[in-house]
Amino acid sequence: MSIIKITNLSKTIKGNTILNLVNLSIEKGQTIGIIVRNGSGKSMLFKSICGFVIPTSGSIQVFGKEVYKDISFPEKTGFIIEHPGFIPQYSGFKNLKILADIKNIISNDKITESLKEVGLDPQDKKSVKKYSLGMKQRLGIAQAIMEDPELLILDEPTNGLDKDGVIIIHSLLKKLKANGTTILMASHNPLDIENLCDHVYEMDKGDILLQR
């Protein structure tokens, strides 16, 4: 069963083609990597899958439902796209608590567990504005996984992480993959792609091609 099925997806803004007839199918439990260059259209592709950006043409189905037509946003999906943003005055835990309260489907223990899984201290009262780039990235990943999504969309998941951080996140993603989570990730880091992905695509100037 295809978790994501993208058919002839195009996106044009002010005459600039950002996505050009993209076709992509991702099966349940797969981890798909996209090798990207700057300005390749990767963020636009991810935003389209998440429902933030409306396609100019083509369709995106997630869990069998067409995004923007059947549903506004895909269900059971966690994501980080570009730099994860948080309320700078609040601690990491409080930021996740605020987000978790919107759907109200997980307990505080689950938030604590998610923070621990990315190597952050749930008891840390430090406000997010004092976090390093790597800590914000870890918090972003904790945010993405805390509600046990079946689909993870990760844009540069190891961006800003130190060596230990990369190891922790790789190990976490392998665990999620083993549990059946479908993962779509883009990265500049060849290690992310080599270590984690079943299939690799290359994206450039709005086109996507299978590499291996």
Partner 1 sequence: MHNTIINSTIQSFKATILNKIRIRIIILTMVILILYSITNINKFGLNFSIYNFVIFILNNPLNVTFIFTTCFLLLIIDLGNFKSNEAFCILRCGSRLNWYISKVLCIGISAVFFNLLVVFLIFISGIMKFSIKNSWDSNIVLLSSTDHNFNIALNISKELLVAFSPLKSVIVSIGLLTLYLIVVGLLNFIINAIAKNNAVGFLSVEVIIFLSLIIYKKELLYNNLIKFILIKNALLQEHTFNNINFLSTLLFSFLYFLMIVIILKFIGFALFKRIDLDNKTKIDSYK
Binding positions for partner 1, rule: CB under 8 A: 13-14, 16-18, 38-39, 41, 43-44, 47, 50-54, 71-75, 77, 79, 81-82, 84-90, 95, 98-99, 101-104, 143, 206
| Residue-by-residue DSSP string for 53-80 | S--SEEEEEETTEEBTTTBSS-SSEEEE
Shortest separation between residue 98's beta carbon and partner 1, angstroms: 5
Rounded Cα gap, residues 30 and 135, in angstroms: 27
* Cβ closest to partner 1, residue 175 vs residue 205: 205
Shortest separation between residue 143's beta carbon and partner 1, angstroms: 6
Tokens coding 117: 């899984």
Sequence-ordered list of residues with C-beta below 8 angstroms from that of 183, at least 6 positions apart, any chain = 30, 31, 32, 151, 152, 154, 173, 176, 177, 196
* Cβ closest to partner 1, residue 13 vs residue 133: 13
Q: Is 195 left (phi over 0), alpha (psi -120 to 50) or beta?
A: alpha
Shortest separation between residue 148's beta carbon and partner 1, angstroms: 14
Shortest separation between residue 198's beta carbon and partner 1, angstroms: 25
Report which residue type is found at 1: M
* Cβ closest to partner 1, residue 186 vs residue 197: 186
Residue of 72, 76, 48, 78 lying closest to 60 (CA atoms) = 48
Shortest separation between residue 186's beta carbon and partner 1, angstroms: 15
* Cβ closest to partner 1, residue 98 vs residue 209: 98
Sequence-ordered list of residues with C-beta below 8 angstroms from that of 98, at least 6 positions apart, any chain = 87, 90
* Cβ closest to partner 1, residue 152 vs residue 197: 152
